[in-house]
Amino acid sequence: MAYFADTNVSSRRVLLSDPLYDTVKKTIDTLLQQGEIVYITAQNLVEFQALATRPVEANGLGLTPAEANERASAIR
């Protein structure tokens, strides 16, 4: 069976401080170990980039574009 991870799931997979990080990481890792496919789209990466580079004061992560790209590589 194939699964689709929306931006909320794919973002939480790389945000260590997120309260759901452990749950999301364990779930995705388990699916992959079972041979399942977890899809994301280019839109997920665009939305993550916007979230990651938005200032903290504006409910973002305040990362530089380079830092955001590094984190996004863990999503892919």
pLDDT digits (tens, 9 = 90+) for 7-56: 999 888 888 889 999 999 999 999 999 999 999 999 999 999 999 999 99
Contact status, residue 8 vs residue 24, Cβ threshold 8 Å: no
Q: What is the pLDDT of residue 33?
A: 96
H-helix or E-strand containing 31? Answer: helix 21-33
Whole-angstrom distance, CA of residue 34 vs CA of residue 31:
5
Tokens of 37: 């496919």
Mean pLDDT value of segment 57-73 = 91
For the cut 70, the answer to whether the pLDDT of residue 76 exceeds it is no
pTM of the predicted protein model = 0.78
